[in-house]
Amino acid sequence: MNKLNREFYNRDSIIVAKDLLGKLLVHKINGHEIITKIVETEAYMGVIDKAAHSYGGRRTPRVEVMYGGPGFAYVYLIYGMYNCFNIVTNEEAVPQAVLIRGVEPIEGIDIMTQNRYNKPYDLLSKNQVRGISNGPGKLCKALAIDRSLNGLDMCGNKLYVLEGVDEGFDIVAAKRIGIDYAEEAKDYLWRFYIKDNNYVSVKV
């Protein structure tokens, strides 16, 4: 399968957020390979988006990677304990990004479950299976994605996205989650997920 190139990410965040669904997120770590299918995303539209860290042109050390070129990882901490993984989109100086909200395990699931629960897959409950990676903090823990990867080139060979297989799924558009502070932007339908997938975080 082909790795997504810079031009794929060099587009409007809303377009990229939808096009990432069904693609394969790969993390190579400690000689192992974790492969997951992206099933839920959120678009953040930069300076015009009151929910975005870069709204109004805000520029801090944390968000600086968003002002660089497309196709780089933007990883930040929320609530002082959970990592969130984003991919920077659009051209340089246009600080947009896509949050990866949910992924479905494909390969390396025992590594993921050890990372999440410190036990093998066959000892998980049904709720734990679904909870492996159905949320941004959960998937970061399962895939061992942390702030050490902030600014990493997604067109490299450590953390990247492959084309995947066209499965002809339906895409649902919904409100983004956890942004009640964002005034009218909280109602924008900029969250996208694969309909009827078990690893979507919130199905509304």
Q: Phi then psi for 100, rounded to 5 degrees?
A: -90, 115
Q: Give the pair of three-digit tokens for residue 74.
A: 């933007």
Above pLDDT 70, what percent of the chain? 99
81 or 73: which leads in pLDDT: 73
SS3 state at 131: coil
Looking at the domain that runs over 6-194, which CATH code has it been given? 3.10.300.10
Dihedral sign, Cα of residue 91, residue 97, residue 100, residue 101:
negative
**Spatial distance between the Cα atoms of 55 and 96, rounded to a whole number of angstroms:** 10
Cα–Cα nearest to 186, from 177, 198, 194: 177
Token representation of residue 15: 């377009």
- Mean pLDDT across 91-99: 97
Look over the chain and give the mean of its residue pLDDT values, rounded to a whole number. Answer: 95
Interatomic CA distance for residues 162 and 155, integer angstroms: 10
What is the mean predicted confidence (pLDDT) over 111-136? 95
User: Does 21 score more than 90 pLDDT?
Assistant: yes
User: For residue 41, what pLDDT band results from cuts at 50, 70 and 90?
Assistant: very high
Mean pLDDT over 2-31 rounds to 97
DSSP H or E stretch at residue 162: strand 159-162
| Secondary element (H or E) of residue 130 | helix 126-130
DSSP letters spanning 71-125? SBEEEEEETTTEEEEEEEESSTT--EEEEEEEEEEEE-HHHHHHHHHSS-GGG--
